[in-house]
Structure 1
């Protein structure tokens, strides 16, 4: 009986994910189909509509990528030592163009912290996701502050804080659920992948927010010292 219940629960989760993916992909495909029908009828291309088609195709691509990452994350590589201050500096440079286009200032505050063990590509994916979420949360001119600081018990703390619109209290608890998002075209999968990556790094991911004031996303990770002394081990 227990086996049947477990199988039933797994099937329910699979069904939920499948239905969610189908729903999320169907929406942009419907838009694309509509624009293509307009092109066919008018026998000419409208550059504005064509750009919208490209945006919707990129959205489909993003949904598929996030779903595949969630279903089979690339955790096969061995953990390597990472200088998080150096890594975040790189990411600030990568995301500056988008922040400038949105009139958002990116600040970086940091202490000298020990190195950590981890997968660089996965941690980059998490932090880029968080920074871009913050950029999108700011309606007009705003500031995003990325901080790195030492944390008790041989850990480091990484924060991405914005002065955007904030998140209602009742929604915070649901963040990280599949297909639940505070964004109009969000899937919720990106944040779910972030949770999974941080969990794999034996870390903790917290979100603090106040509606109308902004959001602070916090990651706490064990340092290389903690890993080498077996205080924390990669899962």
Structure 2
């Protein structure tokens, strides 16, 4: 019963994030620290599934203006989705790049089952899920956070080869 209450709490919080406009306070944050924090809390799930986590990043990643907890949530959602898709172990990569246009690109690359084209088009539909225990809110919340940060999200996938999700965020809001 406790697990179900926690699950309901997560769903309600996701719905509130989607439906309740907020005055967000952007602050300068270190994306490298955010990535390493998120890896520290998802590492156990990766280890249990025999998945290696790899991080590659440019040396000079500037601080970005963001709502740090929201960017953490984006990263957690995308890493967990990738790990969930990988039943046979493998490598999960995170690439962090400082782009020329004063943007930061974060790519989450898994070697999972991939997503077919008909499902790719439905990924940002509320309550659509391919997971047995999914709510169908994770990706739509992720997209909303990214859009609130004036960013964009791109997904490329190939069945039985894996998926790459790229998040592009401006350095300054």
Fold agreement, TM-score > 0.5? yes
Asked if residue 105 in structure 1 is aligned to residue 52 in structure 2, the reply is yes
The aligned residue for residue 132 of structure 1 is 80
Once the 2 structures are TM-superposed, how far is the Cα of residue 54 of structure 1 from its aligned partner?
A: 4.3
Once the 2 structures are TM-superposed, how far is the Cα of residue 217 of structure 1 from its aligned partner?
A: 0.7
Asked if residue 160 in structure 1 is aligned to residue 104 in structure 2, the reply is no
CA offset digits 1:41-61 (Å, max 9, x no partner): xxxxxxxxxxxx544443333
Once the 2 structures are TM-superposed, how far is the Cα of residue 213 of structure 1 from its aligned partner?
A: 0.4
The aligned residue for residue 81 of structure 1 is 28
CA RMSD of aligned residues (A): 1.5
Q: Greater Rg, structure 1 or structure 2?
A: 1
In 1, the alpha carbon distance for the partners of 2:100 and 2:158 equals 26
- Structure 1 consecutive aligned stretches of length 4 or more whose deviation exceeds 3 Å: 53-58
Structure 2: any 5+ residue segments left out of the alignment? none
Structure 1: any 5+ residue segments left out of the alignment? 1-52, 228-232
Tell me which protein shows more strand as a share of its residues.
2
The aligned residue for residue 17 of structure 2 is 69
User: 1:149 pairs with 97, 100, 108, which one?
Assistant: 97
Once the 2 structures are TM-superposed, how far is the Cα of residue 72 of structure 1 from its aligned partner?
A: 1.8
Asked if residue 114 in structure 1 is aligned to residue 46 in structure 2, the reply is no
Q: Normalised by the size of structure 2, how large is the TM-score?
A: 0.92
SS in 2 for 1:183: coil
Once the 2 structures are TM-superposed, how far is the Cα of residue 89 of structure 1 from its aligned partner?
A: 1.1
CA offset digits 1:123-162 (Å, max 9, x no partner): 0011001111111111121211011012231111001110
The aligned residue for residue 220 of structure 1 is 168
Q: Normalised by the size of structure 1, how large is the TM-score?
A: 0.69
Once the 2 structures are TM-superposed, how far is the Cα of residue 168 of structure 1 from its aligned partner?
A: 0.5
Tell me which protein shows more helix as a share of its residues.
1
| CA contact 1:134–1:144 (8 Å) conserved in 2 | yes
| CA contact 1:70–1:189 (8 Å) conserved in 2 | no
CA offset digits 1:72-123 (Å, max 9, x no partner): 26x4342111111121011111111121122211111111222211100000
Taking CA–CA contacts closer than 8 Å with sequence separation of 6 or more, which of the two structures ends up with the larger relative contact order? Answer: 2
In 2, the alpha carbon distance for the partners of 1:159 and 1:178 equals 23
SS in 1 for 2:146: helix
In 2, the alpha carbon distance for the partners of 1:155 and 1:148 equals 11
SS in 1 for 2:130: coil
